Amino acid sequence: MKIPFSPPYINQAVIDEVTDSLKSGWITTGPKVKKLEDLVCEYVGVPNTLCVNSATSGLMLALKWYGIGPGDEVIVPAYTYSATALAVMHVGATPVMVDVNSDFNISVAAIEKAITHKTKAIMPVDIAGWPCDYDEIQELVENKKSLFKAESEKQTVLNRIITIADAAHAIGAKYKNRYVGLTADITVFSFHAVKNITTAEGGAVSLNLPEPFNNQEEYNYMRCFALNGQTKDAFTKSKAGGWKYDIIYPGMKINMPDVLAAIGVAQMPEYFSHILAKRETIYNYYQDYFKTKSWAIIPPCKNANKLSSCHLYALRIKDITEEQRDAIIDKISSEGVAVNVHFQPLPLLTLFKNMGYKIEDYPMAYDNFKSEISLPIYPQLTEHELEYIVNTVENAVESCLC
């Protein structure tokens, strides 16, 4: 049996929506993108959302919007995909890495120790779709106001460290009965091909800024900035007599096209009506199976305050080395089941090693990584395939640990 790791969910509704976009004659940013933005706002509950070409671009846009650049520091977890730190580097700021908890997410205690007068933002990451400790992070930035030094217009208005959530995995996740998106000042979702909702490539910047900010005005600013700082998008310019425009910001070109947004437009209602529940059912199947195994550390899914989006099933094997974990993966893969690892901590990667980051400074990140195996989790999986996956994993673990 061959079981892929994370194929996209493409049904007839998606095909019809994309076909409609192609037939309309309008394939770049236009009505489908606006519809997707409205759907994110409708389902998540945020005031405003801007769709862009990737979550990485969305993080960069949020950082630039807040005036973050050279000389500034942004706190990020050491356990995340490289894009979190790269977005910081692309705007000229310095990523300050901190360790994580055993649930994979950033440690609030580690954040507190890392805050300096140079800290302008904290970027928590909801690994696997499990929400971070948002209230504790927000309380921390309020308590550290005396260290904050505003150096831009937006910084002067907020007058504290901004929280920009890298929620690439977490659309549909809940924290204290609120959807992730209502839990930080700005939240960036990913619609990459392997995410719970996809647009092939893409992301969304959801605004939840406190007063006195006007979220609609800030959306308008970001929308302009995401289109080279141009006052009119191509859809508006294409209308009779609408050719004239101006460039008012040194913007980026990171807009999402309609032909891709159409995929998300079709997927969004189905995701919140039943696909998210299907992912949770599969997650719970794994939980019920592996909780009986003495060698398994099962990942968090639900507690009194948090509900995962079930993006990844991050199984860990107790008391094993990185080499043993890799041998287990090789055994599983040889039986036709595609698995993965999420993630290599940033200090293990050459770029960050060369910048002076050392994995020894992040013991929990490494401990999580060395024993982690991500299992397939997507709505197309059948019960027969799930049985094959868990049996294959069990056999691989027990054969490698003998």
Distant-in-sequence, close-in-space partners of 230: CB < 8 Å, separation ≥ 6: 224, 245, 246, 247, 251
Average pLDDT in the 299-304 region?
A: 97
Among candidate residues 209, 227, 262, the one where a domain is terminated: 262
Same domain, 313 and 185: no
Among candidate residues 232, 262, 292, the one where a domain is terminated: 262
Lowest mean pLDDT among 64-68, 159-163, 231-235, 362-366: 231-235
Closest alpha carbon to 260 in 12, 27, 54: 27
Give the residue with greater pLDDT, 247 vs 176.
176
pLDDT in the model for residue 231: 81
**Helix boundaries (H) for 291-380:** 322-334, 350-354, 363-370
148 found inside a domain: yes
CA 37 → CA 202, 223, 286, distances in Å? Answer: 12, 11, 33
192 found inside a domain: yes
Average pLDDT in the 268-296 region?
A: 98
> C-alpha dihedral over 269, 274, 275, 277, to 10 degrees?
130
pLDDT in the model for residue 232: 67
* Residues 99/52, Cβ–Cβ less than 8 Å: no
2 found inside a domain: no
Stated as kind and residue range, the H or E segment containing 188 is strand 186-190
- Output the domain CATH number for residue 36: 3.40.640.10
CA 175 → CA 32, 118, 286, distances in Å? Answer: 29, 29, 22
Average pLDDT in the 75-85 region?
A: 98
Per the structure, the complete domain to which residue 301 belongs is given by 271-401
What digits encode the pLDDT tens for the residues 311-351? 999 999 999 999 999 999 999 999 999 999 999 999 999 99
Give catalytic status of residue 195 as yes or no.
Answer: yes
Handedness of CA 271, 273, 276, 281 (dihedral sign): negative
Q: What is the mean pLDDT of the chain?
A: 96
Tokens standing for residue 158: 């907020």
Q: Could you give the CA distance from residue 120 to residue 99 in angstroms, rounded to a whole number?
A: 19
249 found inside a domain: yes
> What does pTM read for this prediction?
0.96
Same domain, 144 and 242: yes
Q: Could you give the CA distance from residue 325 to residue 401 in angstroms, rounded to a whole number?
A: 10
The partner residues of 100 in beta bridges, in order of sequence, read: 106
208 found inside a domain: yes
Among candidate residues 262, 282, 306, the one where a domain is terminated: 262
Count how many domains the chain has.
2
pLDDT in the model for residue 15: 98
Which of 64, 195, 306, 370 is catalytic? The answer is: 195
CB neighbourhood size of 203 (10 A): 27
| Greatest alpha-carbon span in the chain | 75
Same domain, 198 and 340: no
* Residues 362/345, Cβ–Cβ less than 8 Å: yes
Closest alpha carbon to 106 in 137, 82, 140: 137
pLDDT in the model for residue 220: 95
pLDDT in the model for residue 67: 98
Average pLDDT in the 122-143 region?
A: 98
What digits encode the pLDDT tens for the residues 205-263? 999 999 999 999 999 999 999 999 888 665 565 555 566 788 888 899 999 999 999 99
What is the three-class DSSP state of 126? coil
SS (H, E, C) 29-94: CCHHHHHHHHHHHHHHCCCEEEEECCHHHHHHHHHHHCCCCCCCEEEEECCCCHHHHHHHHHCCCE
pLDDT in the model for residue 244: 76
Tokens standing for residue 310: 């079930």
1 found inside a domain: no
Same domain, 200 and 324: no
54 found inside a domain: yes
pLDDT in the model for residue 240: 54
Percent of the chain with pLDDT over 70: 97
pLDDT in the model for residue 236: 64
Same domain, 16 and 86: yes
What is the three-class DSSP state of 317? strand
- Output the domain CATH number for residue 369: 3.90.1150.10
CB neighbourhood size of 324 (10 A): 16
Average pLDDT in the 80-84 region?
A: 98
What digits encode the pLDDT tens for the residues 10-66? 999 999 999 999 999 889 999 999 999 999 999 999 999 999 999 999 999 999 999
66 found inside a domain: yes
